[in-house]
Amino acid sequence: MLDFNHRLSFSEAIMKRIDLALDAENKLKPKRNYLGASRLGASCDRALQYEYSNTPKDPGRDFLGTTLRNFDAGHVFEDLMVRWLKMAGFELLTHSSDGDQFGFETLDGKIQGHIDGVIVNAPSQFDFSFPMLWECKSKANKVWRQIKNQGVEIVDPVYAAQMPLYQAYLEPQFPGISSNPALFTAINKETAEIHFELVAFNGALAQQRSDRGVRIIEACEAGELQPRMTKTDTHYECRICPWQDRCWERVPR
């Protein structure tokens, strides 16, 4: 028999209350008025334009509760990793003396980046050089294994671009940071396994992505829409893009 009157179980009802609270909290956050350097490795120029200009998302395409819960969980994993690294003898700076996350801004603040941390010392057995950019991500098992097996630069172009950009722009604050490899850390959210990887500075990629950021901002300021990244709206990136209807001039679903 069809159930046209589905009542939420108590578990679903609790989760719904949590998600509504997270959604309300998220809507109260001030909107970014800059282009995040961490996004400059993303595939689509036009999507970055929508992001930078705070273009309203298509109806019903705001972050789902699952996504917001995942964001929160990511912060918890990162805090755990800071604790674990410090316990293992690493000296890791994550915030300045006034409590702010380390970061940078350029182009009159129109491009900004905030980093997970800088390692300034570690047990001598590792023969690391300092300062060393530290980036930490928590991933589901499938992606975590891909990163472990193939390396972050192959698996994730967004992270691959993020690290050299941060190194280049943080050089004035942490002299030498762009001469030393970054320590990329990925935690498996399902098994708590940890993958560490040294990523050498890629100056050409940093320059290319920085130029891209400038080009996107200039296009926004000139009111010019950048080309789509693909010829079909069924491309997998478009299917998850919150501006899919707007971009392809479709009737909202």
- Contact footprint for ligand SF4 (CB under 6 A): 44, 46-47, 228-230, 237-238, 241, 243-244, 247
User: Between 88 and 251, whose beta carbon lies closer to ligand SF4?
Assistant: 251
Q: State which H helix or E strand residue 198 sits in.
A: strand 194-199
Q: How far is the CB of 243 from ligand SF4 (least distance, A)?
A: 5
User: Between 177 and 241, whose beta carbon lies closer to ligand SF4?
Assistant: 241
> Residue 105: exposed, middle, or buried by beta-carbon count in 10 A (0-12, 13-18, 19+)?
middle
C-beta of residue 180 within 8 angstroms of C-beta of residue 130: yes
User: CA–CA separation, 251 vs 245, rounded Å?
Assistant: 7
Q: How far is the CB of 228 from ligand SF4 (least distance, A)?
A: 3
User: Between 44 and 206, whose beta carbon lies closer to ligand SF4?
Assistant: 44
User: Between 60 and 89, whose beta carbon lies closer to ligand SF4?
Assistant: 60
Q: How far is the CB of 238 from ligand SF4 (least distance, A)?
A: 3
Helix ranges (DSSP H) in 29-64: 45-52
Q: How far is the CB of 145 from ligand SF4 (least distance, A)?
A: 26
Using alpha carbons, list the distances in angstroms from residue 154 to 148, 149, 150, 159, 210: 11, 10, 6, 10, 20
